[in-house]
Amino acid sequence: MAGVLQIHEMTGTNTGTDKTSGTVRFKAADNVTVDDADRLQIGGATTYSYIKQLRAYASSAPDTDFTNLEAYTDGGTFSNSVTCMYDVTWTNSVGSFTANVTNSIIGGVDLFTKVTGARIDMNSWDAAWTAGEASVSSYYGSTLRLQLAVGSDANPGTLVAETLTFSYDET
């Protein structure tokens, strides 16, 4: 029977909410709620969102394993002076996550440079993840951390939605 791999969003207080085919909202609050509350404001300096953390979760285990977890965009961008940075982290503790922060940019590169031909390797830090580990429902692979940076000269208004795609192989 085929396994089911979901994408979960984690916050400083939420250990995982299924966002598969859903929306992740960058905002000035540490929650997974998709609403207009706690909008990022354009100010005299760069404003940062809370970090959004995404990780693969096997809600149903595969026959053998999930491999080649990757993420990529369509190469778009949000708008003038609005950048989405990313990095990839991994912890040996299954399902663990770090507290989210605001007002400090995470190290990384522009998310929109990661396209189908140059994907983010979600296994890059997961050296301990071995074939056959995906035998029970649990978190797998690395955590993708995203943070929006809004420059002081950004255009006001709601940004156009962008798509982040996750891919994997199942054996």
pLDDT at 135 over 90: no
Burial of 58: CB neighbours in 10 Å, binned 0-12, 13-18, 19+? buried
Between 56 and 131, whose confidence is greater? 56
Gap between the Cα atoms of 61 and 65, Å rounded: 8
pLDDT in tens, 37-83: 999 999 888 889 988 889 888 888 777 778 889 999 999 888 888 99
Q: What is the mean pLDDT of the chain?
A: 83
pLDDT in tens, 146-158: 999 999 999 988 8
pLDDT at 131 over 60: no
Gap between the Cα atoms of 46 and 43, Å rounded: 7
Domains, the chain, ranges and CATH? Answer: 4-170 (2.60.40)
